Every structure is written in C-alpha cells, then in structure tokens.
Amino acid sequence: MPWSPMGFCAVDALWSFLSLCFFSAYFVHKVSLQWPKTFERSCVYVLFQDLIRYGKTKQNVQRDKWLRVFDVPKRWFWHFYALSVGWNGLLLALSFSVTLQSQPYPSWLTRIVELLTGVPRPDSQVPQVSTLLVQLLLWLHCLRRLLECLLVSVFSDGAIHLVQYVFGLGYYIMLGLTVLCSDHVGLQKEAGTLLSQLDWLHVAGTALYIWASLLQHHCMVTLARLRTGNSGTVQTLAHRVPEGGWFNLVSCPHYFAELLIYVSLSLVSGGLSLTWWLVVLYVLFNQGLAAQLCHEFYISKYNSYPRHRTAFIPFVL
C-alpha cells in the first residue's frame, strides 16, 4: 500500500505535535541535569518535573504542597485500559458490522473521521483487513493490560498528575479513531475477500506483536514478584531492583516491548501508513522519557545498580 496522497491532515499534525512535545521534554530534562542546583528550586523547573514524572520517579523531586492537590493514584492506570477496552471494542464491533452486514458507520463517527482526515468518507467504503486486524490486536493489547493491572501488578502509593490522567484517557480514545483514519485517508483499497487480502506483513506484524506482548507480560510478572511472596501475597511495597531476562540489558524492557507492539501494529496496517509511523514516533519519545526517568531513579537509589544497563533500548538508549 502506498503512502497517502492526501498529504498532511489533522490526525497527522496531532501525532507530530505530541511527538515534538515529548521529544522536547526529553531533551530539556537531559539538559537540565547539567544546570546549577539552584535552578531546581524554581517554580518552572518544579512544575515541569511534576508533569513529566509519575510513580516512583516523583520521590526524588521536591514538590510544593499545592502540587499534591493534583495527584491521583497511579493504580488508576486501569481506568485507561478499561476505557480503551470499551471504546475500541465498540469501534471494532462497528467495523465488523460494516464489513459483514454492509451497514455504514454511525454519522457521528463518520463526521469525526472526516474532520480528522479532511476527506469525505463514502458510505460504501468497507474497512480493509489491515484495519480490522489492527483494531483486534489493539483491543487485545488493552484487555491484557487491564487484566494485568487488576490481577498481576502490585501498585504502591505512587501518584500521577491529574493532567497525565486526563491525557491518558484522551489518548486511548484518539488511538481508536486513528486506526479508522489510517484506513480512510487515501490508502489504496485492497480487492477481494478479507482472507485474500492477507500478506506477509500481516503475518510478520502479528508474530512481532505476540512476541512483544509475551515479553511485556513477563516483565510485568517479574516486577510484581518483587513485592509478593511465593504464595502471591503482597509482602512489601518497597521498590527493588528487577533482575533476569531483558532486565539484565535495560531498566525498562516493558517500555521497550510497548514500542515493539506499536511497531507491529504499523506493520499490520501495511507498513506504509504515515499516520501509524507518527504514532510509533510518539510512543518512542513518550516511553523513552518514562524509561529515562526510571533509569535515573534506579541509579540514584542503588549504588550497586548495573552500569551496563541502558534505560530503554538495549545497547542504544
């Protein structure tokens, strides 16, 4: 499938803007490590750090009492995935309805997609197999993460900023719409049945998705076991150094796995969707920033922390 001939649209501009914001935040944070210590007490610096950090990475930052008013529990992460399972499940069901029963999308959804892409959507346009597969894999990803939050992860009393919480809710709504926009905005439609549209990119992307999902789940189980005994009961809420597997290479392999999952979705979408690669770029900077903050936390807290580990991508970042 070729690059979209329709040019840059609103959805592309949005993901580009978010990518630029998180890249800028990563750059500013790295540069700020070299600034005088007196700057760390400035209101601008404190607010900036409060907005980019969450959970354990907030522990080493001096925070004014008024900032704590905007704290919400980190354990509320499950809200993101619950919303996504419902919302993206609805979009998946609507896409299957359009495909199997030849029913058009609801008018409100069509108007939103047209607004984001700037291109009218024909009522007869049927989703590609790439779109259906991306929607299914995205829904399964969020369902797994929801179950992990509720049944596997052991959350401490860490907090996230209210802005981060609202952003997270909006993110998963926008993500589902982006899938429809990628299907809609100028990509050449495949002919034939859904099965006849399958190609090697769908297989390769799905294989990468499965491997990355298993890697991420293993990481979440490893992190949870740092706080539980063999019986599975919680023994401590303290932070400990994770060991074994990919944790021997990077501080946050679960963030690396998240990036790989989005790369796999881009491959499943056809591999040439500018919109989806912009989403991947956003995830790279977003997860890279979070991983860097966690990496710095481990180094500052544990004198014996392995210095050969990178933060995010093995041997690179």
Summarised one tens digit per residue, pLDDT across range 290-302 is 999 999 999 988 8
Is 316 a member of any domain? no
Q: What is the pLDDT of residue 5?
A: 40
Is 115 a member of any domain? yes
Q: What is the pLDDT of residue 64?
A: 77
Q: What is the pLDDT of residue 121?
A: 66
In this prediction, residues 3-9 reach a mean pLDDT of 53
In this prediction, residues 183-208 reach a mean pLDDT of 69
Q: How far apart are CA 32 and CA 40, in angstroms?
A: 9
- How far is C-alpha 200 from the geometric centre of its chain's CA atoms? 25
Is 204 a member of any domain? yes
Is 308 a member of any domain? no
Domain count, the chain: 1
**Whole-structure pTM value:** 0.89
Is 5 a member of any domain? no
Is 55 a member of any domain? yes
Which domain does 152 fall in, by range? 10-301
- Give percent of the chain with pLDDT exceeding 70: 90
Q: What is the pLDDT of residue 8?
A: 66
Q: What is the pLDDT of residue 184?
A: 54
Q: What is the pLDDT of residue 273?
A: 85
In this prediction, residues 198-216 reach a mean pLDDT of 92
More confident of the two residues 256 and 308:
256
In this prediction, residues 17-40 reach a mean pLDDT of 88
In this prediction, residues 31-42 reach a mean pLDDT of 79
- Give percent of the chain with pLDDT exceeding 90: 49
Q: Which of 237-246, 278-287, 292-301 has the lowest mean pLDDT?
A: 237-246
Is 309 a member of any domain? no
Is 314 a member of any domain? no
Q: Which of 24-28, 55-59, 120-124, 201-205 has the lowest mean pLDDT?
A: 120-124
